[in-house]
């Protein structure tokens, strides 16, 4: 059985939709399933928000050392992260707000970041990179969204768009051309990669890999499913990029298992199969 057969069998075993794209960084082989179809982005959108902000910093339009005061209003309609539980008045830098947005997916921090950009700016940044199926529509998705909400009510992306973004960030570690494409200074491209590596969540892509495996990633969750997008390393070298998006995930499976649990397990199995089949 080929790797493609294995990955598609993992998806076929579940009643929900799984879209993915895998790029073997050693051989260049690509495997995809619905990779160019628009799908809810969840918090995987935050990687492009980070890069748009770092472009603004490179251009001198924002200051990463700017102190930001955590105000109570920033915790309204927020369902992720830890700052919402802290006492208002805390002061952090814009740089630390980006870290909070990426490492803990903290949406108080996301609001801090997006208040220094515009949605049109972030959306245009993605289009300029070639992310044609990525549409930034809201600062923070409304908490009351139904599970069957329309795509137009949330930010959307595609598995292929996220591979493009991650590949460009990876290339920018050594390529001036990629740095120019991102619009970011070399040191900020290095910082962006390290921030992706700092994510502490270990479900999804990471869940079935050896515990100490290095992964530079951003995960997400939404009312319709779970998602994850990352670069997996072996022996300190990038081995493959995988982006996976589950959709139309039921609240509960026939045996009573929560649907999101199986969605996360499905993404873990996809990454595990690639880890086992791809050679460094």
pLDDT at 280: 60
- Name 139's Cβ contacts closer than 8 Å, sequence gap at least 6: 110, 111, 114, 119
Return mean pLDDT, the chain.
95
Question: What is the C-alpha separation between 38 and 98, in angstroms, rounded?
Answer: 26
Show the CA angle centred on residue 54, arms to residues 173 and 217, nearest 5°.
60
Name the packing angle between helices 119-129 and 46-58 (round to 10°). 100
CB 2 within 8 A of CB 250: no
Q: Which pair of structure tokens corresponds to residue 131? A: 């992310």
pTM of the shown model: 0.96
pLDDT at 139: 77
Q: Does CATH number 3.40.47.10 belong to domain 3-45+119-277? A: no
Residue by residue, DSSP assigns 174-223 as T-HHHHHHHT--HHHHHHHHHHHHT----SGGGGGS-TT--EEEEEEE-S
pLDDT for 246-271, tens place per residue?
Answer: 999 999 999 999 999 999 999 999 99
Mark out the alpha helices in 59-210 (DSSP H runs): 94-103, 107-114, 119-129, 159-171, 176-182, 186-197
CB 194 within 8 A of CB 240: no
Helix (H, G, I), strand (E, B) or coil at 238: strand
Residues of the chain under the 50 pLDDT cut: none
Q: Where are the domains of the chain?
A: 3-45+119-277, 63-116
């Amino acid at each position: 059985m080929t790797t493609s057969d294995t990955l598609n069998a993992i998806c076929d075993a579940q009643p929900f939709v799984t879209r993915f794209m895998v790029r073997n960084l050693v051989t260049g082989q690509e495997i995809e399933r619905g990779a160019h179809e628009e799908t809810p982005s969840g918090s995987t959108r935050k990687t492009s928000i980070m890069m748009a902000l770092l472009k603004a910093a490179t251009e001198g339009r924002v200051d990463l050392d700017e102190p930001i005061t955590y105000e109570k209003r920033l915790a309204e309609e927020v369902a992720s992260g830890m700052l919402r539980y802290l006492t208002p008045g805390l002061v952090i830098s814009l740089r630390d707000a980006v870290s909070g947005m990426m490492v803990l997916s903290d949406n108080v921090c996301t609001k801090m970041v997006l208040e220094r950009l515009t949605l049109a700016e972030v959306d245009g940044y993605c289009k300029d990179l070639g992310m044609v199926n990525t549409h930034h529509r809201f600062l923070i998705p409304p908490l009351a969204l139904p599970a069957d909400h329309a795509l137009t009510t949330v930010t959307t992306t595609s598995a292929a768009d996220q591979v493009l973004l991650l590949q460009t960030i990876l290339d920018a570690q050594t390529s001036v051309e990629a740095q120019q494409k991102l619009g970011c200074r070399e040191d900020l491209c290095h910082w962006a990669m390290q921030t992706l590596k700092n994510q502490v969540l270990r479900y999804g892509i990471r869940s079935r890999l050896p515990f100490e495996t290095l992964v530079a990633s951003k995960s997400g969750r939404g009312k319709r499913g779970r998602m994850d997008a990352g670069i997996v390393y072996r022996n300190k070298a990038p081995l493959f990029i995988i982006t996976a998006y589950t959709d139309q995930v039921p609240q509960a499976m026939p045996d009573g298992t929560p649907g999101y649990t199986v969605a996360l397990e499905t993404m873990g199995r996809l990454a595990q199969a690639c880890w086992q089949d791809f050679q460094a």
